Amino acid sequence: MSIFIEPMQRSDIIRMLFFTLFFSVGAGSLGVSVLCEDLVRYYQNRQLTESARESLEKLKSLNDAYNMILAQLEEDPNRLKRLAPVTLGAEQEDPNTAYPKVTARQLAAARKALTDPNNESIKPAIPKWLSRCSEPRKRTALFISGIALILISFICFRPAKQTN
């Protein structure tokens, strides 16, 4: 038994490596072209689920804040006298207190800061490579190239015929 690989075995190994490489790349591109619509739907559903989860968290935090305010109002009824005019927009009655006036521009800036649509926590819906692959012409090209690579791997890198 020799520690060196015989020339016939070396060519079989190289042939097997090329077959594996061409077949796996072809099968991958064929799979991506066939499953492209499902992948797009998956990423869109994942984005919708994430935004729904964020909305649910915001609602839970608002609910907790309102429960805290209700608990404080039950403890101290005088808070209702201070909170009601601010909430309803009525004039305050206490003559010894200075109340700052809020302008519409300040309210708009605060609202924009709280509901900024360019929030960094929102990720893009689908990856760039998938959006490029989902174009009809590129998808067709992926399909044809995948079939071509699989055929090349079976035709050119099949096992050599044994000659005895």
CA-based nearest residue to 47, from 130, 111, 132: 130
Q: Which two tokens stand for residue 135?
A: 């174009």
pLDDT score at 137? 95
Contact predicate 1/124, CB 8 Å = no
| pTM (two decimals) | 0.58
Q: Distance (Å, rounded) from C-alpha 62 to C-alpha 96?
A: 32
Per-residue pLDDT in tens (0 to 9) along the chain, 164 residues:
456 656 667 888 888 999 999 999 999 999 999 999 999 999 999 999 999 999 999 999 989 988 988 888 888 877 777 777 667 766 666 677 766 677 788 878 878 877 766 655 556 678 898 889 999 999 999 999 999 999 999 998 887 676 65
